[in-house]
A = this chain, B = another copy of it.
């Protein structure tokens, strides 16, 4: 098959160079591209033929369609004017790591199916334990270990399943839910906690949403009270998700207080630090991690703010046996000497799917090509830029800042009894920028998530000007 143009090394080099040039040109054009697609539902599909082609097309036609079909249908997450949801960065070392993973096409489900795929992942996640100041028990050389998941949603589900099994003496996996489990998170926690409760068969009715304070942080007293109340009513509190950087406004749950309550109640404490975890690279931002020694599991997403393209969520547990107890199933056809020796990690037992690609490459390359100091420098710049914008907004008597931004995310609104002026302002800004909103305490806020790789101070200055003009108008 060496003559097959879809396999030939020559085609890879030739067509690959064209793709690299296309991406390079895309990066150069980000400044001028409208951040938001102008297409209507169905427009992309209407440009595609009804049926798959019977005969081969040259790759060049695919690349032409990147311009004709794809580009107009994109929301440009890499645009310097994208401030929506969360930064979803990529970078050259990350892209090239992904490219190598696609070329090798190894399956990392077992150590045996590619030792390097498993060991580089364990090793790089150990590096990150040190870099982020996480508990030593999270090291793969201790009782725990780290694994790359596709997303924080999946990590939270895995944590919940490990907690469920530990609480039931590892009997739920066989018998099914046979006791009144109940779990907790704040009223600002991510929807993935609810989704995990639904998937795990415990039900969203058994997730308690604990009220937050003015900084969008979980209040520990109502948590303790609700747990006591549930226990008195015969329920079994088994799992708490604390959020480091809530989705809407970047609230930071107090881990020390929550951790003490969990220890008392024997509940598993999971931390979702999806976006904000990256900031722990810088010692001066580690205040948010106070109490981290009390948590059972933790996840954050390098695919958000750490320059590694999706999917790359890093997930650690203190006790890997609990996770294995929840997710390990060993059929005959996967048996092998290395696994049975117990000397290796088989990551299929650490996640929902069986298969997995070599995602550690891109993370390894990012850490090396930036260096820890390089990563810190960028995070500090993003935080400083956000603080700068927050200061200008706070100074404007027509605007209201929800709170001083802890890191790279701020929320503001037009000072008015009504939400309408803020909604109008958002619609106005959305012609040039991509921003999303949050509703906090019943009031409508505009969110600015400012960790985009291509975003510089002058983009925030232009946004500020647009905000000022929009409020006037």
CB within 8 A of A102: which of B77, B309, B436?
A: B309
Q: Is residue A225 contacting chain B, with contact meaning CB distance below 8 A?
A: no
Contact partners of A355 in chain B: CB under 8 A: 150-151, 153, 303, 310-311
Q: Which B-chain residue is minimally distant from A361 (CB atoms)?
A: B70
CB within 8 A of A92: which of B59, B89, B329, B344?
A: B59
- Take A199-B352, A203-B175 as given contacts and tell me if A120 and B44 are in contact as well, using a CB distance cutoff of 8 Å: yes
A344–B41 alpha-carbon span in the complex (Å): 6
Count copies of this chain in the complex. Answer: 2
Q: Is residue A276 contacting chain B, with contact meaning CB distance below 8 A?
A: no
Do residues B6 and A92 form an inter-chain contact, with CB atoms below 8 A?
Answer: yes
Q: Is residue A12 contacting chain B, with contact meaning CB distance below 8 A?
A: yes
Contact partners of A232 in chain B: CB under 8 A: none
Do residues A75 and B112 form an inter-chain contact, with CB atoms below 8 A?
Answer: yes
Q: Is residue A439 contacting chain B, with contact meaning CB distance below 8 A?
A: yes
Do residues A307 and B6 form an inter-chain contact, with CB atoms below 8 A?
Answer: yes
Do residues B100 and A367 form an inter-chain contact, with CB atoms below 8 A?
Answer: no
Residues 6-58 of A contacting B (Cβ, < 8 Å): 6-13, 15-17, 19-28, 37, 39, 41-45, 48, 51-58
Q: Is residue A222 contacting chain B, with contact meaning CB distance below 8 A?
A: no
Q: Is residue A292 contacting chain B, with contact meaning CB distance below 8 A?
A: no
Contact partners of A341 in chain B: CB under 8 A: 41
Binds B, one of A103-111, A211-219, A237-245, A316-324: A103-111
A26–B102 alpha-carbon span in the complex (Å): 12
Contact partners of A365 in chain B: CB under 8 A: 59, 62
CB within 8 A of A174: which of B130, B205, B370?
A: B205
CB within 8 A of A41: which of B106, B115, B199?
A: B115
- Take A75-B106, A100-B66, A372-B53 as given contacts and tell me if A176 and B206 are in contact as well, using a CB distance cutoff of 8 Å: yes
Do residues B27 and A21 form an inter-chain contact, with CB atoms below 8 A?
Answer: no
Q: Is residue A210 contacting chain B, with contact meaning CB distance below 8 A?
A: no
Q: Is residue A113 contacting chain B, with contact meaning CB distance below 8 A?
A: yes
Contact string against B for A residues 88-104, beta-carbon threshold 8 Å, 1 for contact and 0 otherwise: 11111111111111111
Q: Is residue A331 contacting chain B, with contact meaning CB distance below 8 A?
A: yes
Q: Is residue A127 contacting chain B, with contact meaning CB distance below 8 A?
A: yes
Do residues B96 and A15 form an inter-chain contact, with CB atoms below 8 A?
Answer: yes
Contact partners of A55 in chain B: CB under 8 A: 371, 373-374
Do residues A105 and B77 form an inter-chain contact, with CB atoms below 8 A?
Answer: yes
Contact partners of A163 in chain B: CB under 8 A: none
Contact string against B for A residues 378-419, beta-carbon threshold 8 Å, 1 for contact and 0 otherwise: 000000000000000000000000000000000000000000
Contact string against B for A residues 186-223, beta-carbon threshold 8 Å, 1 for contact and 0 otherwise: 00001110110011111111100000000000000000
A362–B59 alpha-carbon span in the complex (Å): 11
Contact partners of A233 in chain B: CB under 8 A: none
- Take A104-B26, A106-B77, A123-B45 as given contacts and tell me if A93 and B343 are in contact as well, using a CB distance cutoff of 8 Å: no
A48–B121 alpha-carbon span in the complex (Å): 12
Given contacts A51-B127, A52-B367, A62-B96, 11 further A-B contacts (CB under 8 A): A19-B100, A45-B123, A53-B372, A69-B120, A73-B114, A75-B115, A90-B103, A95-B99, A95-B102, A173-B198, A191-B331
- What are 29 A-B residue pairs whose CB atoms fall within 8 Å in the complex? A6-B370, A8-B92, A9-B23, A9-B25, A11-B92, A12-B20, A16-B92, A19-B96, A23-B103, A48-B120, A52-B131, A53-B367, A62-B93, A73-B114, A73-B116, A74-B115, A77-B106, A77-B113, A85-B107, A102-B362, A105-B309, A150-B353, A153-B352, A175-B203, A175-B205, A176-B202, A194-B329, A195-B352, A198-B326
